Structure 1
Amino acid sequence: MSFYESLGFLVFGSRLRRLSEAFLADVNKIYASHELQFDAAWFPVFYILSRQETVSIRDISDELGISHSAVSQLVSSLQQKGLIKTATADDDARKKVVAFTAKGKKLQQQVQPVWEALQQAMGTLVQEGKHSKTILTAISEIEQGLQNESVFNRVQNILHHK
């Protein structure tokens, strides 16, 4: 049994981070090996824009469950690279909407086959383990549990009841 396995939930976050970093590094290696100037961190915005022609920063923030500020920073970075453009929404001058530039749309079309292959490869990977098939369901359940009550509050409740 490895060090991480022996400590169970005490290193849960560390194991998830390690797994995430390895996964994202491999995905970025795939893009690089196919000479695609794409970063895995851009995926959520690219994917949302691949389904909608324009989308507001607020809608991206809400859909991803991350702060408006974090989305704005990512959008600014993608805009500096010439991949997306921003405009004022037709229906609300206070709202900023984003859309692909021609360069961004071309890149999205180039990375689409990688996304499809990744989906297929991950489907195969999770079939290899006895419990792997339920990992997405398990993650969703944990996310929902954390929305109901944070780890901080859960630990505080235990410590205050001792």
Structure 2
Amino acid sequence: MSDASEDYSRTFGGEALGARLRRLSERIDRDGTRIYAEHGIRFEQRWYGVLRQLVANGPMSVGQIAAALHISHASVSEARRSLEKAGIVDNTPSPEDGRRRMLTLTAEGRTLWDSLSPLWDDFNTVAKELNDEAQDVVRLLDRLDDALARRSMYDRIMDKVSARTMTR
């Protein structure tokens, strides 16, 4: 039986890599949500990357945004649906290919972006301070990202499974 105060993620070190990354992501997202709530703003953390791309690049497809953010098409599609429901983005046919849909900021979305920009400056300043305090953890995350780009977790695990089954 384990002690309730034991920190699983820290106890297992690298073996709990996914659990640790999820926990940190949840903690950051939870604090962001609290900040928005304190300011009376309904905003979901997962919207930021999509909005950032639309502000920087103008109309984009879900696939283009997913590629730019290096996340799944499904994640961007899910964010798109909630952004549309909130009236922050529109989904219109592409002028070049009517089968493809383009996301654009609505006037409400542009106003939201403009009103949140000073708050996001504070988010960015604190993120930089945390990165400095953690002795450039972003550089280490880049190294992890690069290692996974060279060889996925899936491929690495499947090699272990294959090696184990071959030795039987």
Q: Does 1:7 align with 2:6?
A: no
Higher relative contact order (Cα pairs below 8 Å, separated by 6+ residues): 1
Q: Does 1:143 align with 2:148?
A: no
Figure out how many residues of one structure are paired with residues of the other and give that number: 159
| Residues 59-89 of structure 1, C-alpha deviations (whole Å, 9 max, x = no match) | 1121122333332232122112111111111
Distance in 2, Cα, partners of 1:36 & 1:133: 32
One of 92, 97, 113 as aligned partner of 2:97: 92
Cα contact 2:131–2:138 (8 A) shared by 1: no
Distance in 1, Cα, partners of 2:85 & 2:73: 18
| Residues 58-67 or 148-157, more deviating | 148-157
One of 27, 32, 44 as aligned partner of 2:37: 32
Q: Does 1:47 align with 2:52?
A: yes
- Deviation (angstroms), 1:149: 1.5
**Percentage of matched positions with identical amino acids:** 26
- Deviation (angstroms), 1:159: 4.7
Secondary structure at 2:135 match in 1: helix
Q: Which residue of 2 aligns with 1:157?
A: 159
Amino acid at match of 1:127: D
**1:55-134 alignment, distance < 5 Å:** 55-128=60-133, 132-134=134-136
Distance in 1, Cα, partners of 2:18 & 2:78: 25
| Residues 132-141 or 19-28, more deviating | 132-141
Structure 1: where are the runs of 5+ without partners?
none
| Residues 88-142 of structure 1, C-alpha deviations (whole Å, 9 max, x = no match) | 11122222111111111111111111211011112122222xxx23211211221
Amino acid at match of 1:145: A
Amino acid at match of 1:18: R
Distance in 1, Cα, partners of 2:26 & 2:122: 19
Distance in 1, Cα, partners of 2:131 & 2:79: 30
TM-score, normalized by length of structure 1?
Answer: 0.87
Structure 2: where are the runs of 5+ without partners?
1-5
Q: Which residue of 2 aligns with 1:20?
A: 25
Cα contact 1:36–1:111 (8 A) shared by 2: no
CA RMSD of aligned residues (A): 1.9
